[in-house]
Amino acid sequence: MTLTVAAITTFLLLATAAHANRRSDTARNLNHGLAGTPMANTGYALEAAGFRYHISPYLIAGIAGTESSFGAASCRGNPYNAFGLSSCTTGWHVPYFPTWASAYTFMAKFLTGRWPNASNAWSYRGYAACSDCWAARVAYHIRARFGVTSAVRYP
């Protein structure tokens, strides 16, 4: 079988378009699930952070749901820290997040750096005092808000 440059180019363009559509679908699903919360309309930023660090944006959102009701109870001094990082105090250095996008990027990098072999919400031992309770709540938020599983890797 002989492949032409045109055939390969067409295949790559179709694959890229399908991937872009899947990313847009994810961002729209995130926006739908986050509607009515302080994180509303941030699905594209959340999806971009997840894509960059190969971690599910649904997991990041589920953590925010567990830690701060999707930003409704974020840290007072760092309102985009919807993840309870450092228990909202100075236990360890958490940068100030000027935007949701910066918070999502930090969180994606933090999760993949600290738990590189995580496969589901239960893999994040040590994130919270009761790891099993926390993981169950994160998984619940992911299912209830977005209708997806608590898989960690993305895309």
27-67 pLDDT tens trace: 999 999 999 999 999 999 999 999 999 999 999 999 999 99
The domain tally of the chain equals 1
In a domain, 19, yes or no: no
CB atoms within 10 A of CB 114: 11
Q: Are 104 and 51 in contact (CB under 8 A)?
A: no
Burial label for 40, CB within 10 Å (0-12, 13-18, 19+), is middle
pLDDT at 89 over 50: yes
In a domain, 89, yes or no: yes
Query: Whole-model pTM above 0.95?
Result: no
Q: Which domain holds residue 81?
A: 26-146
In a domain, 14, yes or no: no
